[in-house]
Amino acid sequence: MTTLDIDFVRAQFPAFGEPSLQGQAFFENAGGSYTCAPVIDRLTRYYHQRKVQPYSAYEASRLAGAEMDEARTRLAAMLGVETDELSFGPSTTQNTYVLAQAFRQHLRPGDAIVVTNQDHEANSGPWRRLAADGIEIREWQMDPETGHLDLAGLEALLDDTVRLVAFPHCSNVVGEVNDVAAICAMARAAGAWTCVDGVSYAPHGFADVAALGADIYLFSAYKTYGPHQGLMVIRRDLGMALPNQGHFFNEASLYKRFTPAGPDHAQIAASAGMADYIEALSAHHGGPASGAAAARFAHDLMRGAELALLAPLLDYLSSKNSVRLIGGAAAQNRAPTVAMALQAPGEDVAERLAPLGIMAGGGDFYAVRALRGLGVDPDHGVLRVSFTHYTHADEVDRLITALDQVL
Ligand SMILES: Cc1ncc(COP(=O)(O)O)c(C=O)c1O
């Protein structure tokens, strides 16, 4: 396995060279990651050189449109889908809201949707609200101790009235990576579509959405080294079957059907910088130079680096009697998103970490149902420390030392 060149990686993120951030170890990555240089450069270039209405014949406009298309083409390829199966919206929450409107028109009273109590509210509330239209909502519940979603639990909920199963690739508080391929296969066999919230997973590597078998796959670029956009894959069969939510004259264009808002041109264009970064990361480590192969290589590289840092952190936390670690203690099947319930409210502990140079967050992280499902009062909340491949081993050491002081 190739070892991650951490100096190369950090050189791609201006935040690590930023004087005002020196001495601060960043552990709130699941809230929003640092932005990679190619994204910032493209955003700056767009505003300087191309900030005009895109897709006209004059040069600035042509370049603006071409760069927006480039972002969709390259990112779709990395996700293993067709270019027009990927669209951009203001955020994942807004994207699920629009999708839920489409399903509201498409489904009939008596149809059912399976949701989980492990999800962030973005992939839960919009679906649950369809109960007001006569849609039956079935909740796939986690194990209240471990936060694990058991496939047998889903199987018991599926029958021929279920039209959609909405679940996370990885919860933003439990951290366990769910077996998306198995869940999608089970849902499909029962005749249901799937909507996968990939927000907490994508920063740790782009998924091959086609291989997972998801009908909808969502994530947020601002947590994945990019600008503040929500990326939404909708596979063609489903996207063309659902009623169009965009302007009527755009209905034949799959990527415009679920984006009723005028898109943020500059941020879409700048999203191509995410592909630049992933490709540079792969190439620098001797991997493929472009496309899906580069994305798969970068995924495994990131994952390997993260696991090496995650294991000691989980070992440390498991050894503390005062800590209730949320999710499993084994690094292997979880993302480096580590929540813990403590005697003191999560926000208070995060506040105590700040003067020690640890940037972390506390609270419910909009996973209110998940915390309730785990028996944690959302008002008390959890402390969450989350990192990515760009985190240095020294920073994890500092985190452990700081936790030792405040716990
Ligand atoms: C797992 C998960 N899903 C969805 C969201 C919502 O994403 P957005 O802020 O783009 O609406 C978040 C944000 O924290 C999240 O962590």
Q: Which ligand 1 atom lies nearest to the CA of residue 171?
A: 1
Q: How far is CA 64 from the centre of its chain?
A: 27
Closest by Cα among 274, 229, 284 to 74: 274
Quickly count: other Cβ atoms within 10 Å of residue 379's Cβ.
11
Q: How far is CA 116 from the centre of its chain?
A: 16
d(CA 167, CA 308) in angstroms, rounded, equals 27
With a cut of 50, list the residues of the chain below it in pLDDT: none
What is the predicted pLDDT for the residue at 2? Answer: 87
What is the predicted pLDDT for the residue at 262? Answer: 87
DSSP alpha helix (H) spans, 329-392 = 346-353, 368-373
| Distance from residue 54's CA to the centre of ligand 1 (Å) | 29
- Exposure of 319 by Cβ count < 10 A (0-12 exposed, 13-18 middle, 19+ buried)? exposed
d(CA 389, CA 42) in angstroms, rounded, equals 23
Hey, which residues does 334 pair with through a beta bridge?
176
**Pocket (CB within 6 angstroms of ligand 1):** 91-93, 120, 122, 168, 172, 197, 199-200, 220, 230, 366
What is the predicted pLDDT for the residue at 120? Answer: 98
d(CA 301, CA 290) in angstroms, rounded, equals 15
Q: Using DSSP, state whether 115 is helix, strand or coil.
A: strand
Q: Which ligand 1 atom lies nearest to the CA of residue 230?
A: 10
| Distance from residue 55's CA to the centre of ligand 1 (Å) | 31
Between strands 216-220 and 136-140, the pairing is unpaired
d(CA 310, CA 321) in angstroms, rounded, equals 19
| Distance from residue 405's CA to the centre of ligand 1 (Å) | 31
382-386 β-sheet, strand order = 324-325, 337-341, 382-386, 361-363
Q: Using DSSP, state whether 197 is helix, strand or coil.
A: strand
d(CA 170, CA 391) in angstroms, rounded, equals 20
Quickly count: other Cβ atoms within 10 Å of residue 56's Cβ.
12
Q: Which ligand 1 atom lies nearest to the CA of residue 220?
A: 10
| Distance from residue 48's CA to the centre of ligand 1 (Å) | 30
CB 78 within 8 A of CB 206: yes
124 torsion bin: left (phi>0), alpha (psi -120 to 50), beta (else): alpha
Give ∠ CA 161-163-164 in degrees, rounded to 5: 135
CB 200 within 8 A of CB 57: no
What is the predicted pLDDT for the residue at 261? Answer: 81
Instruction: Report the residue among 199, 334, 364 best suited for mutation to probe ligand 1: largest number of ligand atoms under 8 A from its CB.
Output: 199
Q: Which helix (H) or strand (E) holds 382?
A: strand 382-386
Instruction: Report the residue among 99, 172, 368 best suited for mutation to probe ligand 1: largest number of ligand atoms under 8 A from its CB.
Output: 172
Instruction: Report the residue among 228, 365, 366 best suited for mutation to probe ligand 1: largest number of ligand atoms under 8 A from its CB.
Output: 366
What is the predicted pLDDT for the residue at 26? Answer: 98
Q: Which ligand 1 atom lies nearest to the CA of residue 30?
A: 16
